Amino acid sequence: MNDYSSNLLCDPKELAGLDPAKTAHICIDVQDYYFHPEKSEFFDENMKESADNVAKRIAHIAPLFNQAGLSKTIWVYHMCAGKEWYVVKPDEAQGDEVFGKMGYSAFEGKKLKKRLEELGIENLILTGGYTSCCVQETAADALKDDYKVVVLTDCIQNCEEPLFDSELVDMFSVKSRWSGKKKQALFTNSDTLLNHMSVVQPVKSAPSNKDSIWRLFPGFA
């Protein structure tokens, strides 16, 4: 997985205000065409393992988000790349929804935004790939529309070498279309976010640091 410094991560206290009922997880383009180590043509040899780990991580945390009472998990796929998911599998029985797109941003057209408005969503958790393309474009559109955006650094994948912290910060900030003020996405990792969502469940086979553990931190329910 991509190893970003702890200096990039937000203060966990900034996550305490996230209301699960008003928060959606949006996973972008985790398809064979982009993530499969043998089928994707976008990765250098040294990036294949990272992409595989990120996809497995997302596959394990998505059900935990549902367990934590998140309003919705939305899986977005690029329609030009087929609909074969890599490792992940939308659970429509649990209310997961699937949206196709033709461009970079998941907000292309009005369908996703309309659905989020119907659900009363104010906060978005972004995962998937590629970091400097579809994830970035989705975050930019979301920030411009005044959503609070949280990017999970252990659940995003770039097609090239990992980005520097400073590149990531610049990439995930925009000027508000209304006020002109700079708006910035928050960065955290899945362990920290789930701890603050009061989820106590180990992810046995999900790639993680050796010293990473799942513990309960009273955050919000």
Sequential pLDDT tens for the chain (221 residues): 555 667 788 888 888 778 899 999 999 999 998 998 888 877 777 778 888 999 999 999 999 988 888 899 999 999 988 889 999 999 988 899 999 999 999 999 889 999 999 999 999 999 998 888 899 999 999 999 999 999 999 999 987 766 666 677 777 878 666 666 778 899 999 998 988 876 433 444 444 443 333 333 334 33
Q: Rounded CA gap, 166 and 203, in Å?
A: 30
pLDDT of residue 113: 95
Q: Which residues of 176-191 are buried (b: 16+ CB within 10 A; e: fewer)?
A: eeeeeeebebbbbbbb
**Is position 203 within any domain?**
no
pLDDT of residue 49: 84
* DSSP state letter for 116: H
**Is position 181 within any domain?**
yes
**Is position 160 within any domain?**
yes
pLDDT of residue 143: 92
**Is position 218 within any domain?**
no
pLDDT of residue 26: 98
Q: Where are the beta strands (DSSP E) in 39-168?
A: 72-78, 97-101, 123-129, 148-157
**Is position 135 within any domain?**
yes
CB 87 within 8 A of CB 59: yes
pLDDT of residue 3: 57
Peptide bond into 130 cis (omega under 30): yes
pLDDT of residue 166: 66
CB 144 within 8 A of CB 107: no
Q: Which domain covers residue 76, as residue numbers?
A: 29-195
**Is position 117 within any domain?**
yes
**Is position 11 within any domain?**
no
pLDDT of residue 206: 47
**Is position 207 within any domain?**
no
State the CATH number of the domain containing residue 157: 3.40.50.850
pLDDT of residue 37: 84
Instruction: Give the neighbor-by-neighbor strand order of the sheet with 148-157.
Output: 97-101, 72-78, 23-28, 123-129, 148-157, 186-188
Tokens of 215: 């513990």
- Number of domain units in the chain: 1
pLDDT of residue 204: 42
